[in-house]
A and B are shown apart, each in its own frame.
Chain A
Amino acid sequence: MLIFAWLRGLVRRRPGRLLATSAGVAIAVGLLASIGTFLSSSKAVMTQRASSSVPVDWQVETQPGADPGSVLQTVRTFPGISNATPVEFARTPGFTLTTGDTTQTTGAGVVLGIASDYAVRFPGVLRTLAGSRTGVVLAQQTAANLRATVGDTVTIARAGLPDASVRIDGIVDLPTADSLFQKVGAPSSAQLQAPPDNVLLLPDTVWHRLFDELSRSRPDLVTTQVHAAVTRALPADPSAAFGSVAAQGRNLELKLAGTGLVGNNLGAELDKARSDSLYAQILFLFLGIPGAVLAGVLTSTVAASGADRRRRDQALLRARGATLRQLVRLGLAEAVIVTVVGSAVGIGLAAIIGARTFGSATFGTRAATAVWWAAASVAAGLLVAVLAIARPAWRDARQLTVTAARRTVGRDHDPRWMRWCADLILLAGAAVVFWFTGRGGYKLVLAVEGVPTISVNYWAFLGPALAWLGGGLLFYRLAVTTLRVGRRPLGSVLRPFTSALSSTIAASMSRQRSLLGRGLTLVALSVVFAGSTSVFNSTYQVQAEVDAVLSNGAMVSVVESPGHDVHPSFADQLDHIPGVKSVTWVQHRYAYVGSDLQDLYGVDPATIVKATKLRDSYFQGGTASQLMARLAAQPDAALVSLETVKDFQLTPGDTLKLRLQDGNTKQFRPVTFTYAGVVSEFPSAPSDSFIVANAAYVAQATGSDTVGSFLIDTAHNDSSAVTRRVERVVGTTATVNDVASKRRKIGTSLTSVELSGLTRVELGFALVLAAAASGLVLWLGLAERKRTFAIAAALGATPRQLSGFIWSESVFVTAGGLIIGVFSGWVLTQMLVKVLTGVFDPPPSGLSIPWGYLALVGGIVLAGVLTAVALITRAARRPTTEMLRDL
């Protein structure tokens, strides 16, 4: 009964306090529910994206001596198999095509035998470039090598058997050649470096006619695989999906009893995706948790701003005989009502965000998952409310006398943590953990060799977590120490604005340093949160774009088929295509550095800087433009990897003797270069060691200026449209890649975690937190002292003098919070970017500052403060009748 009477009284008499505390809980619940559901949704999308990118889930290879028919039967009857068909592989010494007077012969190749409906059963394996996709089809690169077109007759060499001829019905691209020609069952280190250059696909009937005899005479040259698709009822989490698919594959191998090995392509893709999902989890922890904790601190501060009144209420109840248990129950009842209201608003807010941002209130994930996150968020909200309301009530009731509870200011003693320097210890701990994490290369996702599971290195979180905690406490220490020690200087600062009242205002502020310190800390933390989140997100987005351009080479790249001679002059044709801003060409060769075969890229230093973005972070020993100028000025200059520099103890100016393939004789011959700098990343280059040199020098030294790829900058034009135009010009002799498709393709790489959704949610909440931390907390803090201002007004304070009191506190809290917040935000962002190096590929050379958003945060903080101050000043100028009657 007492509880209901108390709650009724609160609703009637203290609606502002209940609503403000509920608002804090709503922010915490809304943020957690949004980000948590978004995380689950992201994981499900990763699983879906990974599985949909695999055209052949399993490649089951029949082992020597086993019966292919039996293997096919076992696979077809295995639970969960939706589709299974045999694919034959036969190795050939080469293909020959005679056109007119010339005869082209390729090196060794592979002839596949596939069912007539293979392309329909496994869409994505073949991409038709010319003619038909059924019948006899030639891989694009082979067609380029043979200069073959549809209708030509190609001769297939067969080991120990007469050659056979077939008529070409079509030319196709094999986008998944790497997995198609994998060594089934071999570890990744033992896989082929590249798929075969020459591939011909035959209908299975034709293949059997041509190669059945070979399978009897040379079974070592022939293999049979079963290509299978599994039903895609996968768990939403990539880790769980991987575990399920891997176990299924092992189970099939067990059933095959040594007659077949499973190449688990689906498992391999999910394996990559689970690493991404862990990074998503990491980002959730790094970027989401601080926001939720901040919302919790905000709620506590909002609740604390009414603590004095609550203590006085409690003191009255105690004076009238209320027991400790009753007081705690009242506190809990208030916490529950605040949780119910706050959670309802928070969950509603999350649903609206989901619907507006992701088109679904459940953020695109299953309803059960969304409900789970909602329940978890409400539990967190309840915890926040209990800590903010019920715990202080319990503590006050246990520790304070009735008289002490009526006190509103008190002679502050430093809290224990300040005397123990807990803030400084925490920050020192953060620095030590950060340093140790740095020594380990900031590895957040651990994949231990030989262990199938991967895990998150949660120790790395300790650094930023300690920094947040230590920083928050340090902000408070700075604020209260300034107010305690700097009372006199503060009075001097205030004198021009508040005249003779300056010392009194400074004294008043000094004695309320706990209250003002909490306000300043909250403003600073909300600025740190908004600043670090937005700068990190902005840097991440920029790097994701850099990664896409780096992987693709440029906005559009034209990769020529090996053996297809294209010369730099072709760049002129590309240059005239509408939408093309500039074009450069890159030679791709192989060079022996000692016994190590490395990729060598010959570039035109003058044009490459125009056609693609070279970042300074790709190089050491000079900026990008300096090193390109060096390549231009000194044609034999070469940029090599850091590993090569260490292996060969190179110093700038050293002579480097490499062996490059001669364009005419195809023999490797020594070419002398001069070591000029280090390159770690380069457009379209692999992630391991490679060399960058001057194209003109390479052409002169090898007698060939054959181009490996053309890089095209489309400026702000639609790169996809330009790509289509370029494809029409280059025909089937080259592959044209668009940065937009690359962006989608790196959906399973480390930088793939789609941050834009998280960004919108986070930045939105950061704004709300900034507004609440400044305006709401300030307003509540001042509103609780309306009686004080009413007394001052009744004593004759003019509106200007009252404003002096209010503005002095507000400016201290806001300006102090902003200054400390901006500085600390910059430090924390640097730390975040360092610790999260793993999610950046390549690492950023600097932070990307979203000035517009930061200006918005500043504006919202100021607007919040101005509104709060205006409302309080207006109310204080003319005390209400109720206030006067209370005096």
Chain B
Amino acid sequence: MNVAPIPGVPVVDAVDLRREYGTGSACVVALADATCRIFSGQQIALMGPSGSGKSTLVHLLAGIDTPTSGTVTWPALANEPHLRPGPIGVVFQAPSLLPPLTVVENVALPLLLGGASGAEGTAAAREALALLELDTLADKLPEELSGGQAQRVAIARVLAGNPKLILADEPTGQLDHETATRVIDVLIAATDASGAALLINTHDPVIAARFSVHWSMHDGALITTSEQATTRC
């Protein structure tokens, strides 16, 4: 589903987001009352140590997890709440390609899940792979790829859906520096070209330095210098 972003309207708008795991004395607050907004074209680096709640925030903003309290909406995306090709694309930290599917089938999968025909999906997938110079890997299985190749394919899978919001959860966490740089290059170039918003979650200051907007998290609290993101603890 392709939704044209509305100028001045946030792609995602989160208010007082809170996420707790467990109950009673075992209750862990992963995210404490975070409020933030992301607009089209923004490129944001979300930094923080491991366990600070970065992934939790990404999952909530992507709509694949539900907050314990607070609200998250996607005003510029006609409030399409869940992941679908088009509105939101997520790049995961760990290898996230489906093992029994080839590279091209993996890239086409979100489009097919969204209702595209087999031919449309394959064509879009090949286009996205070509964009990232991965077309020679189209018929390989995920287990035949290196870590960097697999992550680039995962980005191609996101881009194939032409998303308006890309959420990348430590996409370079398991990559060497050179490969990580190439992956970030690809993400920035793709969002520059499409005008999509990009939130990248990282604890690498070198990577974060390439982004104009910086948010940070500590112990579940979202801290930012930007006006668009606030937190109240």
Contact = CB atoms under 8 A, between A and B. Distances in A.
B101 A886 contact: no
A797 B83 CA distance: 9
Contacts, number: 84
Interface in B51-101: 55, 59, 62, 64-65, 82-85, 90, 92-94, 96-101
Interface stretch (A114-122, A407-415, A593-601): A407-415
Interface residues of A, number: 31
Given A796-B83, A881-B65, A508 B110 contact: no
Nearest to B1: A796
Contact of B143 (A406, A501, A886): A406
B137 to A, nearest CB: 15
B184 interface: no
A784 to B, nearest CB: 11
B112 A504 contact: yes
Contacts of A788: 98-100
A500 B143 contact: no
B62 to A, nearest CB: 8
A409 B141 contact: yes
**Which of B55, B105, B143 is the most central at the interface, judged by chain A CB atoms within 10 Å of its CB?**
B143
Nearest to A802: B113
Contacts of B108: 504
Nearest to B157: A795
B113 A409 contact: no
Contacts of B157: 795
Given A792-B109, A794-B83, A795-B83, A409 B99 contact: yes
Contact of A407 (B110, B121, B143): B143
Given A500-B117, A795-B110, A884 B65 contact: yes
A793 interface: yes
Contacts of A657: none
Contact of A500 (B62, B105, B121): B121
B154 to A, nearest CB: 10
A507 B96 contact: no
B106 to A, nearest CB: 9
The contact size tier of chain B is 35 or more
Interface in A470-504: 500-501, 503-504
B213 interface: no
A411 B110 CA distance: 24
B186 interface: no
Given A407-B143, A411-B141, A794-B90, A500 B112 contact: yes
A885 interface: yes
A607 interface: no
B64 A794 contact: yes
A511 B114 contact: no
A798 B96 contact: no
B100 A511 contact: yes
A355 B105 CA distance: 57
B138 interface: no
A795 B116 CA distance: 14
B40 to A, nearest CB: 21
A408 B94 contact: no
Contacts of B99: 408-409, 788
A794 B60 CA distance: 12
Contacts of B64: 793-794, 879, 884
A887 B109 contact: no
A791 interface: yes
A500 B85 CA distance: 15
A801 interface: yes
Contacts of A314: none
Contacts of A798: 113
Chain B interface main SS type: loop
A512 interface: yes
B49 interface: no
A507 B101 contact: yes
B96 A501 contact: no
**Which of A408, A879, A884 is the most central at the interface, judged by chain B CB atoms within 10 Å of its CB?**
A884
Contacts of B169: 887
Nearest to A503: B118
**Which of A788, A794, A881 is the most central at the interface, judged by chain B CB atoms within 10 Å of its CB?**
A794
Interface string A497-534: 00011011001110110000000000000000000000
B98 A408 contact: no
Nearest to A885: B55
B133 to A, nearest CB: 23
Contacts of A879: 64
A887 B98 contact: no
Contacts of B84: 796
A276 B83 CA distance: 70
B101 A794 contact: no
Contacts of A795: 83, 109-110, 113, 157
Interface in B103-131: 105, 108-110, 112-118, 121
A797 B113 contact: yes
A507 B114 contact: no
A887 B174 CA distance: 12
Given A796-B113, A796-B114, A791 B85 contact: no
A512 B100 contact: yes
A203 B65 CA distance: 101
B142 to A, nearest CB: 8
A504 B157 CA distance: 15
Contact of B100 (A503, A508, A794, A885): A508
A796 B82 contact: yes
A503 B84 CA distance: 20
A504 B109 contact: yes
A793 B64 CA distance: 8
Nearest to A512: B100
Nearest to B93: A887
Nearest to B122: A503
Nearest to B169: A887
B85 A887 contact: no
B98 A791 contact: yes
A825 B115 CA distance: 43
Nearest to A404: B143
A887 B116 contact: no
A378 B90 CA distance: 51
A881 B55 CA distance: 11
B98 A500 contact: no
Interface in A779-809: 788, 791-798, 801
B117 A409 contact: no
B100 A409 contact: yes
Which 3 pairs, one residue from A and one from B, show the smallest C-beta to C-beta distance?
A407-B143, A796-B83, A508-B100
Interface of A: 406-411, 500-501, 503-504, 507-509, 511-512, 788, 791-798, 801, 879, 881, 884-887
21 contacts: A406-B143, A407-B143, A410-B141, A500-B115, A500-B118, A501-B112, A504-B101, A507-B100, A507-B105, A508-B98, A508-B101, A511-B100, A512-B100, A788-B100, A791-B98, A795-B109, A795-B157, A797-B113, A798-B113, A884-B55, A887-B93
Given A797-B113, A881-B65, 19 more contacts: A408-B99, A409-B143, A503-B118, A504-B109, A511-B101, A791-B92, A791-B98, A792-B98, A792-B109, A792-B113, A794-B96, A795-B110, A796-B84, A796-B85, A796-B110, A796-B113, A796-B114, A801-B113, A879-B64
